Amino acid sequence: MRWKKVFVLTILFLFTSTFSFAQTLKLDVKEYTLKNGLKILMVERHEIPRVVCHIYYKVGSVNEHPGITGISHLHEHMMFKGTKIMGVSDYKMDKEINDLIDLLEERIYYEKFWKRSKPDVKKIEEWQKLVDVLLKEEKKYIIKDDLWETYMKNGGSSLNASTGNEVTGYYVTLPSNKVELQMFLESDRMANPVFREFYSEKEVVREERRLSENRPGFFFREQLNSVFYSASPYSWMVLGWDIDLQKMTKKDFLEYNKKYYIPNNAVAVYVGDIDPENIISLAKKYFGDIPKGVTPEPVRTYEPPQRCEKRVYGEAEAPTEVTIMYHTPPRGHPDDAVFPIISGIMNGRTGRLYKSLIKEQGLAISAYAYGGGRWYAGQFTFSARPNERKGKTAEEVEKALYGEIEKLKSEPASEREIQKVKNQYEANYIRSLANNYYLASRIGREELNLGWRYLIEYLEQVKKVKAEDIMRVAKKYFVKNNRTVGILKRKK
Amino acid sequence: MKCKLLLSMILIILISFSISYSQKVSHPSQLKFKPLKFEPPDPLDYRIQLNNGMIIYIKEDHKLPLFQLNAYIRAGSIYDPKDKIGLAELTGSLMRTGGTKNMSGDEIDETLDFIAANINIYVSKFYTTASISSMAKDIDEVLKIYADILMNPVFDEQKIKLRKEEVIDAIKRRNDNPRTIVANEFNRLLYKNHPLSWLPSLKTINNISREDMVEFHRRYFAPNNMIIAIASDFNKGELLQKIKRVFSGWNKKEINFPVLPDVDINIKPGVYMIQKNINQGFIRFGHFGVRLNNPDIYALRIMNFILGGGSFTSRITTTVRSNEGLSYSQGSRMGEGTIFPGLFYCYVQTKSSTVPYAIYLILKHVREMTEELVLDSEMETARNTLIERFPEFFSTAFTTMNNFAKLEFNQQPFDYYKKYRDRIKNVTKEDVLRVAKKYLHPDNMIFLIVGDIEKCKAGGSKYKGSLEDFGKVNIIQLESSVRK
């Protein structure tokens, strides 16, 4: 999980820089909005005849509530199961069978989870047997992973999808003569998804969750996160709780799909060897007649202010680690631009944490600072692993981290330190432009939040950060009542 | 006359309208695509060899003000002495952090960080890469430091201590993650005592001295032992002059590579289990694979694509994940070793109770590959996927140069890319059956399972047999020394 965060941080780094190359390097994004609200973003790059085609929906785990946690992610999986024309040889037959399966599964669900008394195991077994027979029958009409295979054999690469806290994305890179294929398939599954093979896919997702659970320290980090957020929907992971995955019904699923998978809740991004005029006319042709939906309500529950320190202790077959988390403002708040500068000052071999905790004091084996604004909340984290071979403890490292945090409040950072971080942002921003995939990802996601131009606005804000800002922000947010501390110790 | 003109105008409008708003087809298979032509660049157009033996692939790239360089150096951990495993890795990282005759390690870090330049040295089994990523305006400063690091490292004792602590920490964490365990232990079961399976221990790391690193560097780092890829927003001729200048005085030298032992390709088939308190079995099973220069390599790639390499279009994923819902990640790999044979293996992670069933299903697919011709539709998907994606090898100037450097480093022919698509196209389903019969041995495999042994053994209702069906079950104890 930490590595995931570091990765997110790196991506953040990539797009946060000052702008001395601004003249030559401005983002040349062309945009178009269809009548139904679907936004199209385009960037021309003609090096090779390939096009990165992404579509992002404004839906993620923050849109869930207890009972359906993990549904955004499961939904992403189900979007590969086909439509009325994809993944099926006889839609009518398939639908009849599928409806029967749903009926039986509903009965099993009520028997298993709604009864106060013990469920009737025999009944469940009988229904399950019927389901198995129907599944076998349905296989005759299913064309396995049709959409995936169609993309593949047409030269699709970087073929994938992912679900995050706020956004779900569907990705493929195609030969430039085949962008129409993506328009066909994506508009088809936006308008007519059919969720066949729902119950076995739930099991796949539960295996995916187990895979995460078996990473060293996962359970502790999951607990820590849910303690850190007391009310905000960031308090559960994208994977969701296993009990919700078990109970989630087809009905939940159809409602969720109807609410969020609408053109006015999505953005389609094309980066590569394209002709924007052609993209627009293809988009009109394929996405144009999908009806506009009702704009979903923004997330209601923001994290209330924390009033006291929270501490979590745990043990696992994982290295001992201290994690100190602070609530910070969401992306879009003026203070948010200061946090990348803080992490820049702290990290790396020339950063304060390495120099002090590792090199000079020999207290830690590794130490990082990372985080920043998300859409509806923010968090900034300091973490370190004590050098146990030298007999150093988690408590000593925690104290040392506070020492560094206090220094942020009391001493202005040097000009050179701040300039170094700004230089790195500028460079990493330029580097990021070299990669069509990341570019598509950044502009697409930001578009759904504050608009893609905010990427540049944010850079401008970062560039203006001064030593006083760092002290002010540190004093404001890095305080005891605003923190959650996690101490994970290796199980002996 | 006028009327005719008007008519033809209307016709033109109608035609152009019908082009831009052509009727939607009802299935993607009916879509017609304009042909697309793509010819790969020729490595020899970018290749230069300097008098000191250094080989350079270089291309100007003026899209962004960047300088990117990567060198492949024939110096890898395969050359570690048995009592000093970890030497190559330590040498590489200390070259980067341990200072040079002209600058201390800290000075180098401060200088590079301030100008946002990265110099990285990464050591793998068969080679070391030394790379630069910086702004083009900083070429002079970065190249000077880069050359200094390669030619004059001093391996500061204090920095050695710091790095050893990190390495030892990594050794201690090695067996925390079942994913790492399954990879390391599968290697060990196949390659046995060969250097390919060696991993550093506290003892071998403590055995390594500064002098060992000085000697390792002296022995392997030379201009004639490296191939460099460069893409830069800078004039090619001037850049080459700069490179000659910074490396002047660094001379060609003869390198005596140690004679590496052969790999013993006999295997002890059976089921091997490692206890770990987790809720899934992490499974890997297979045997030896092939070498990169194998003439059957293209047929093997298609074969493995269909078996378990082609994600959702492969048989293993379709059965185990899509049909049965047994796992999230599963498939097969056909290892292509450069000097020694790689490993062929199937992999899956599934809850303990479905471990035997998942193995049974996958093994069945392996067996079928050796018994029956694959379908025409499977051949078409595999071939088209590989052919249509081909331009991605050249997605940026730097990717292209890097691929060319790697090609020569691995002693592949210069026309590799030129012939690539035809070679894929020419593979037939008869070839696929022939190579499956020749290279897959479903009855002579090593099965490794990391998980909760009793629960994995117990299995579940879906499979009536037991793990013994796949071979004699052996329990492996992980080296407990890593924790000491």
Three-state secondary structure along A87-118?
CECCHHHHHHHHHHHHHHHHHHHHHHHCCCCC
What is the C-alpha radius of gyration for chain B, rounded to an integer number of angstroms? 27
SS3 A486: strand
Residue B277 confidence (pLDDT): 94
Tally of structural domains, chain A: 2
Structure tokens at B213: 């690193």
All structural domains of chain B, each given as residue ranges with its CATH number in brackets, are 43-246 (3.30.830.10), 270-483 (3.30.830.10)
Q: Tell me whether residues B325 and A204 touch, CB distance under 8 A.
A: yes
| Length of chain A in terms of residues written | 492
Residue B243 confidence (pLDDT): 97
Give the pLDDT band of residue A6 (cuts 50, 70, 90). Answer: very low
Is A475 domain-assigned?
A: yes
Q: Is a pLDDT exceeding 90 seen at residue B32? A: yes
At which of A287, A314, A341 does a domain end? A287
| Pair A469, A402 in one domain | yes
Domain coverage including residue A433: 2-13+302-487
CATH number at residue A259: 3.30.830.10
* B420 touching A (Cβ < 8 Å): no
**Residue in chain B lying closest to A24 (CA):** B64
Q: Is a pLDDT exceeding 60 seen at residue B249? A: yes
Give the pLDDT band of residue B479 (cuts 50, 70, 90). Answer: confident
Nearest-angstrom CA–CA distance, A409 and B206: 41
Q: Which of B28, B176, B280 sits opposite A181 (nearest CB)?
A: B28
The amino acid that residue B413 corresponds to is P
Residues 6+ apart with CB under 8 A from B411: B293
Cα torsion for B325, B329, B330, B335, to the nearest 10°? 170
Residue A10 confidence (pLDDT): 40
Cα torsion for A71, A77, A81, A86, to the nearest 10°? 110
Q: Tell me whether residues A349 and B310 touch, CB distance under 8 A.
A: no
Digit-coded pLDDT (tens) for A125-144: 999 999 999 999 999 999 99
Digit-coded pLDDT (tens) for A289-309: 999 999 999 999 999 999 999
Is A136 domain-assigned?
A: no
**Terminal-residue alpha carbon distance, chain B:** 99
Residue B55 confidence (pLDDT): 98
pTM confidence score: 0.92
Is A476 domain-assigned?
A: yes
* A160 touching B (Cβ < 8 Å): no
Residue B24 confidence (pLDDT): 83
B394: distance to nearest CA of chain A, Å? Answer: 7
Residue B436 confidence (pLDDT): 98
Q: Find chain B residues with C-beta within 8 A of A21's C-beta.
A: 65
Q: Find chain A residues with C-beta within 8 A of B397's C-beta.
A: 47
Q: Which of B17, B36, B390 to mutate against chain A (most A CBs within 10 Å)?
A: B36
Nearest-angstrom CA–CA distance, B183 and A383: 28
Residues 6+ apart with CB under 8 A from A430: A17, A21, A25, B64, B65, B66, B135
| Pair A260, A317 in one domain | no
Mean pLDDT of B401-409: 98
* B480 touching A (Cβ < 8 Å): no
Q: Tell me whether residues B173 and A216 touch, CB distance under 8 A.
A: yes
CA–chain centroid gap for B127, Å, is 12
Largest CA distance in chain B: 99
| Pair A226, A331 in one domain | no
Q: Which of A184, A200, A215 sits opposite B177 (nearest CB)?
A: A215
| B450: β partners | B274, B282
Q: Which of B27, B66, B178 sits opposite A431 (nearest CB)?
A: B66
Is A203 domain-assigned?
A: yes
| CA quadruple A248, A249, A252, A255: dihedral sign | positive
Q: What is chain B's mean pLDDT, rounded? A: 94
Judge contact between A185 and A86, C-beta under 8 A: yes
Compute CA distances B320 → A487, B80, B102, B469, whole Å. Answer: 39, 40, 58, 19
| Pair A51, A198 in one domain | yes
Detail the DSSP E strand segments found in A221-298.
266-272
* B326 touching A (Cβ < 8 Å): yes
B282: distance to nearest CA of chain A, Å? Answer: 9
Digit-coded pLDDT (tens) for A71-111: 999 999 999 999 999 999 999 999 999 999 999 999 999 99
Digit-coded pLDDT (tens) for A232-274: 999 999 999 999 999 999 999 999 999 999 999 999 999 999 9
SS3 A322: strand
CA–chain centroid gap for A367, Å, is 24
| Pair A223, A308 in one domain | no
Residue B110 confidence (pLDDT): 97
Q: Tell me whether residues B38 and A350 touch, CB distance under 8 A.
A: no
| Pair A311, A283 in one domain | no
Digit-coded pLDDT (tens) for B175-214: 999 999 999 999 999 999 999 999 999 999 999 999 999 9
Q: Which of B26, B64, B166 sits opposite A430 (nearest CB)?
A: B64
Q: Is a pLDDT exceeding 60 seen at residue B366? A: yes
Residues of chain A numbered 369-398 and touching chain B (CB < 8 Å): 385, 387, 389
* A423 touching B (Cβ < 8 Å): yes
Digit-coded pLDDT (tens) for B424-460: 999 999 999 999 999 999 999 999 999 999 999 999 9
Mean pLDDT of B291-311: 96
- Could you give the percent of chain A with pLDDT greater than 90? 90
Judge contact between A32 and A394, C-beta under 8 A: no
Cα torsion for A209, A213, A217, A219, to the nearest 10°? 80
Give the pLDDT band of residue B108 (cuts 50, 70, 90). Answer: very high
| Pair A192, A307 in one domain | no
Structure tokens at A254: 């159809």
* B6 touching A (Cβ < 8 Å): no
Is A227 domain-assigned?
A: yes
Judge contact between B309 and B331, C-beta under 8 A: yes
Q: Is a pLDDT exceeding 70 seen at residue B17? A: no
At which of A260, A287, A314 does a domain end? A287
Give the pLDDT band of residue A14 (cuts 50, 70, 90). Answer: very low
| Pair A41, A8 in one domain | no
Compute CA distances B438 → B190, B435, B444, whole Å. Answer: 19, 5, 13
Q: What is the interface pTM, i.e. ipTM, of the complex? A: 0.90
| Pair A211, A262 in one domain | yes
Structure tokens at B103: 């600058």
SS3 B145: helix
Q: Find chain A residues with C-beta within 8 A of B351's C-beta.
A: 207, 210
Residue B83 confidence (pLDDT): 97
Judge contact between B70 and B269, C-beta under 8 A: no
A181: distance to nearest CA of chain B, Å? Answer: 7
Q: Is a pLDDT exceeding 60 seen at residue B483? A: no
Q: Tell me whether residues B391 and A154 touch, CB distance under 8 A.
A: no
Nearest-angstrom CA–CA distance, A418 and A415: 5
* A210 touching B (Cβ < 8 Å): yes
**For tokens 């033109």, what's the residue?**
B12
- HSE-CB of A123 using CA atoms within 13 angstroms: 12
Residues 6+ apart with CB under 8 A from A169: A54, A55, A56, A57, A161, A162, A441, A444, A445
Q: Tell me whether residues B323 and A47 touch, CB distance under 8 A.
A: no
Structure tokens at A320: 């001992």
Judge contact between A468 and A412, C-beta under 8 A: yes
Nearest-angstrom CA–CA distance, B280 and B349: 6
- Could you give the percent of chain B with pLDDT greater than 90? 92
A170 φ, ψ (degrees, to nearest 5): -125, 125
Residue B22 confidence (pLDDT): 60
Task: Mark residue A357 as left, alpha or beta (left: phi above 0; alpha: psi -120 to 50; beta: remaining).
Answer: alpha
Is A135 domain-assigned?
A: no
Digit-coded pLDDT (tens) for A412-448: 999 999 999 999 988 988 888 889 999 999 999 999 9
Is A115 domain-assigned?
A: no
**Residue in chain B lying closest to A143 (CA):** B318
Q: Which of B135, B324, B387 sits opposite A200 (nearest CB)?
A: B324
Residues 6+ apart with CB under 8 A from B303: B334, B369, B374, B432, B435, B436
Mean pLDDT of A163-189: 98
Chain A and chain B share a number of CB contacts under 8 A equal to: 193
Nearest-angstrom CA–CA distance, A219 and A237: 11
Q: Find chain A residues with C-beta within 8 A of B391's C-beta.
A: 48-50, 175
Residue A115 confidence (pLDDT): 87
Judge contact between A416 and B114, C-beta under 8 A: yes
| Pair A212, A359 in one domain | no
B113: distance to nearest CA of chain A, Å? Answer: 7
Judge contact between A433 and A312, C-beta under 8 A: no
| Pair A227, A315 in one domain | no
Residues of chain B numbered 80-99 and touching chain A (CB < 8 Å): 97
Q: Tell me whether residues B64 and A152 touch, CB distance under 8 A.
A: no
Digit-coded pLDDT (tens) for A452-489: 999 989 988 999 999 999 999 999 999 999 999 999 99
| Pair A9, A76 in one domain | no
Q: Which of B165, B280, B313 sits opposite A211 (nearest CB)?
A: B280
Q: Which of A156, A207, A349 sits opposite B351 (nearest CB)?
A: A207
Is A46 domain-assigned?
A: yes
At which of A237, A259, A287 does a domain end? A287
